[in-house]
Amino acid sequence: MKLRTVPLVGVMVITGLGLIGIGAHATFTFSTSSGQTITEGTYDPTLVGSCIDGTICPVDPSSGDLFSLTPDGTTLTFTPYSPTTSSFSTGDQEVTATNTGNLSVSAPTWAIGAIVGTDLKNEAYVCATSTGVGTDDANTVLYNGPLSGFTGTSYSLSNDVLSPSGTTATATSGPTDNFVVDVYAGSEQTLCGTNTAPGTAAMGGTSNAPALSSNVVGENENIAVTVKLTYQD
């Protein structure tokens, strides 16, 4: 994805990803000489979470769920994780948005947050990547750095469009879009490796972030990344 970052208040950015709520309906009308014709359509991007690349991601011990969704389906929250060692990784947690409606949506944007303890937020790092949309399937770095600089940001691709399923894909248009996040500390395998340059190829490799201090590991603080999709009609 050809991305760049712009800070936002309360949520994360790389340009172009906008708000109608998931499942909202729009009706358009136009006049003809014989009367009025009404055309109806739906904007229905749906969010699904997964754990990719054979990594191990945290799941709810009682339900086995990897993630939860808000009742309106607009925000996905990964299962909270509490590091038990000074070097850790939450695995490659992926959110995929699929347009299951019959109308295109423009400027889909990943708005990022986290439910996290104060000390863990100050010491943990995060690798965020995307494989793009349409015919652009290169894995690209969105962010790789301290968790404290990751939350309250949003990411998007300029001219990105989530088209209905079955529509021919282009470099910036297709029925799906994705976002992958891995919270970590110490020497761990991530999709970013040591690459901290947004918009460049994610080659993967071993991170070189500092390990957690012993007092943070002992506090049993949790981290749960939240991802909200906003867009424009």
Say what the pLDDT of residue 158 is: 83
Residue type, 137: D
pLDDT tens, residue order, the chain (233 aa) = 334 333 333 333 333 333 333 333 333 333 333 445 444 678 788 999 999 988 999 999 999 999 999 998 999 999 999 999 999 999 999 999 999 888 999 999 999 999 999 999 999 999 999 988 888 778 999 999 999 999 999 998 888 999 998 888 898 899 999 999 999 999 999 999 999 999 999 999 999 999 999 889 988 899 999 999 998 87
Say what the pLDDT of residue 40 is: 67
The total number of structural domains that make up the chain: 1
Of 173, 163, 182, the residue nearest 133 (C-alpha): 173
The answer to whether position 93 is within a domain reads: yes
Please list, residue by residue across 28-54, b when 16 or more beta carbons sit within 10 angstroms of its beta carbon and e when fewer do. eeeeeeeeeeeeeeebbbebebebbee
The answer to whether position 1 is within a domain reads: no
The answer to whether position 224 is within a domain reads: yes
> Could you list the residue range(s) of the whole structural domain that residue 110 is in?
25-232
The answer to whether position 206 is within a domain reads: yes
Partners of 180 in the β-ladder:
94, 129
Say what the pLDDT of residue 130 is: 93
The answer to whether position 17 is within a domain reads: no
The answer to whether position 29 is within a domain reads: yes
